[in-house]
């Protein structure tokens, strides 16, 4: 169990560094009960649940997603699920984009590539294709 915790803490710290390099202030909630990270830069405010997997799918507890969503609404930030697929990179989702699997939620690599945002899209450095098309 310790190695799973260490890997989780390690990917959380990796995401913190990525956000801080882009000018975000970030707080990590160790042993989190509602949210793993809270980040803001004056323009974007995120409440983030962080997951990682060596495989092609990860499951999230439905109650955890409800807590994240509730916290984000009260805080005034956007609820996000950040998933690092080892060897495939980071993908970011709003809870309503997740697939429900019973009482839990599932994120797989195929969904990530179709519905997830990459880091540059998340922080506004890269526009999504459908945003570019709508403006033309």
24's tokens? 């975000």
Q: How far apart are CA 121 and CA 33, in angstroms?
A: 27
Dihedral sign, Cα of residue 5, residue 33, residue 96, residue 99: positive
Catalytic residue chosen out of the listed positions 10, 32, 99, 101: 32
- Based on the residue annotation, tell me whether 52 is a catalytic residue of this protein: no
12's tokens? 């959380």
Tell me which residues are annotated as active site: 32
């Amino acid at each position: 169990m310790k190695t799973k915790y260490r890997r989780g803490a390690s990917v959380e710290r990796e995401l913190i560094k990525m956000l801080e390099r882009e000018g975000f202030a970030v707080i990590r909630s160790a042993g989190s009960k509602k949210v793993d990270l809270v980040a803001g830069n004056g323009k974007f405010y995120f409440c983030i649940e962080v997951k990682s997997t060596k495989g092609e799918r990860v499951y999230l507890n439905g109650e955890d997603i409800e807590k994240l969503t509730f916290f984000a609404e009260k805080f005034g930030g956007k609820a996000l699920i950040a998933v690092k697929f080892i060897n495939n990179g980071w993908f970011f989702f709003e809870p309503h984009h997740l697939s429900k699997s019973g009482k839990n939620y599932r994120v797989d690599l195929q969904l990530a590539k179709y519905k997830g945002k990459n880091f540059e899209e998340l922080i506004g450095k890269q526009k999504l294709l459908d945003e570019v098309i709508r403006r033309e």
